[in-house]
Structure 1
Amino acid sequence: MSDSPAARLQVLFEGHRLTPTQRRIAHCMVRRAADAPFLSSVELAELAGVSQPSVTRFAVALGFDGYPALRRHLREVTPAETGAGADLNEYQQAVEAEIENLRHLAELLADPGPVERAGHLLAASRPLPVLGLRAAASQAYGFSYFAAKVHPDVRLLDEGGTMLADRIDAAVRAGATALLCFALPRHPREVVEALEYARAAGLTVVTVADSAFAPVAAHSDLLLPAAVGTGLAFDTACAPMLLGRVLLEALCDGLPDAQARLEEFDVGAAERGLFVE
């Protein structure tokens, strides 16, 4: 198991039945894992957008006497800083934080079971709808672009509005059995509603999200977490992007003719002079 602050928090939260408000606090702490041991209950409440008593109840739900006891525990299990990164500028610190996110993802992938299960679910769905709105739209597009080279019917859902439910319905009528969702902060309410609608329509929802405590978790059958970086003005999503490529590999493993389709594409691309070599 990774010794990163985010990994330690994930372990601490696992196995507890948390309310939506408590999941919001947990999600906030995972995103601010390095700062979490030093935040007051008021500061954490402000960051999570909840009340200070909610933070206290959250700590009690985890088995502590109160928030001060939770914070003491986090400080005890947090290794002392070595100061090795003290001379890094803000851009370098953002890169180092992303490297840590990738290390955490590598630790999670030590158990390939969830990704392999997701790959088979997605491979079996004909068509395969892929949802991603706002910040996650580029992740959904990238996955769909490559998946379409091996999967016979990939349907990108990267625009919201009243047509979104119609497109989910159309996919179900065409035979879809699963939906892949990329969900990144800030989480649009429309994505949560779309996942709830998709599950009610009978689809199995596989979600790549920035945290196991993201708002989409309650509406996902299989959630695969990959943290985003928060050190810059806009979040960075290297780990979710890489997890999407890992899912593509698992998808190919679930499609017996994937290699043949790739070779067919390469032959056609060469005949058309599609790429400059």
Structure 2
Amino acid sequence: MNDSAVIAAPPTDRVLDLFQGIRLTPTQRRIAHSLVQNAASAAYLSAAEVAELAKVSQPSVTRFAMALGYDGYPALRRRLREIAAAGHGRTDPEQPVGNEMQRAVRAEAQNLNTLAEQLTDRDAVTTAGTLLADSRPLVVLGLRAAAPLAAYFAYFAAKVHPDVRVLDSGGSLLTDRLEQARTAGASAVLAIVLPRYPREVLDALAEARAIGMSVVVITDSAVSPAAEHAHIVLPAAVGAQLVFDLHTAPMAMSMVLLQAVCDAAPADAQRRLEEFEQSAARRQLFVG
């Protein structure tokens, strides 16, 4: 990673802006996601290289560019180069380059700033909170890297929701457990879907929709593969500067969403919290 990509604001958001408000096919979503994930180098890739990156055909890349309103991929690439040039021209003299660990943490701070700006419009989070608050039981799905975040959300959600079910393992039983939750009355599922996007979780989201559940997804990008299966997408960027991804923004988004769940039924949430505190005091669960 070069230093200018750290000092300058990354072009990811401006690349993502190219796709806002445009209905993309699943194939086009893969192309868009590849461009977002490789925003720093996308401007210098040929149509064939983009096709290879997204695992699609070269004509699909051309059709994708035309769907965005460009004459073809060369015109889109010129726009990507303009975005890259603008990004490299914007520096922050107060933010030193530092070592790779410092750069990774600063990038996470930027991800949180982006999330804060995104939450200026709270409609999506508010609607998602209401859907999840009304679901009995509430299903929380997260596999592989997302499993700890699903457990984290579910741990706190259980303090304000009477029935939270965590689905954190794949296999044939995953669909069984989804169907059982639906039969028990579940109307919504929260899925946390992070790179590298387990195929099992995407199949589970398709199944959830097929059986009539509302799907809320926390994922790293509005053009993530999970977005295709979601009714509401809550994007929160993932840090990719270290050997393993950092999930600071998705964790923050999960807690923001839980706040929206509480806000959707404040009296019930407060009552359940008070009952928990009384129980915790009686059992002397905590020392401080």
Q: Which moved more, 1:85-94 or 1:189-198?
A: 85-94
Cα deviation code 1:202-232 (max 9, x no counterpart): 1111111111111121211111111111112
1:6 counterpart residue number: 12
Of 162, 167, 171, which aligns to 2:177?
Answer: 167
- The change in CA–CA distance for 1:236 and 1:48 in structure 2 (over 3 A counts) is farther
Q: How many positions carry a matched residue from both structures?
A: 275
Partner of 1:270: 281
Displacement of 1:10 in angstroms is 2.1
Paired amino acid for 2:153:
F
Q: Secondary structure at the match of 2:197?
A: coil
- Say whether the 8 Å CA contact 1:4–1:100 is kept in structure 2: no
Q: Does 1:140 align with 2:150?
A: yes
Aligned-partner Cα distance in 2 for 1:4–1:107 = 15
Identity %: 59
Distance in 2 between the 1:193 and 1:32 partners?
A: 25
Structure 1 pair 50/235, CA: closer, same or farther in 2 (3 Å)?
farther
Question: Do the aligned residues in 2 keep the contact of 1:177 with 1:203 (CA within 8 Å)?
Answer: yes
| Alignment correspondent of 2:4 | none
Measured after TM superposition, the shift of residue 56 of structure 1 is 3.2
Q: CA 1:178 to 1:83, structure 2 compared with 1: closer, same or farther past 3 Å?
A: closer
Q: How does 1:52-201 map to 2 (within 5 A)?
A: 52-77=58-83, 78-79=86-87, 80-82=89-91, 84=93, 87-201=97-211
Residues 38 and 270 (structure 1 numbering): CA distance in 2 closer, same or farther, change over 3 Å? Answer: farther
Tell me the alpha carbon deviations over residues 27-68 of structure 1, each in whole angstroms, 9 at most, x when there is no partner: 122223333334444443443333444333322221223333
Q: In structure 2, list runs of 5 or more residues that go unmatched.
A: 1-8
1:207 to 198, 204, 217: 217
Deviations 1:122-155 (A, max 9, x none): 0000111111111111111111000000100000
Please identify, of 40-49 and 187-196, the stretch whose mean Cα deviation from structure 2 is larger: 40-49
What one-letter code is carried by the residue in structure 1 that aligns with 2:119? L
- Which amino acid is the alignment partner of residue 36 of structure 1? A
Are residue 236 (structure 1) and residue 246 (structure 2) matched? yes
Cα distance in 2 between the residues matched to 1:10 and 1:216: 16
Partner residue of 1:259 out of 262, 270, 273 = 270
Q: Which runs of 5+ in 1 are unaligned?
A: none
1:117 to partner: Cα distance: 0.4
The TM-score, its normalising length taken from structure 1, stands at: 0.92
TM-score, scaled to structure 2: 0.88
Match of 2:6 in 1: none
Provide the C-alpha distance between the structure 2 equivalents of 1:258 and 1:270, rounded to a whole number of angstroms.
18
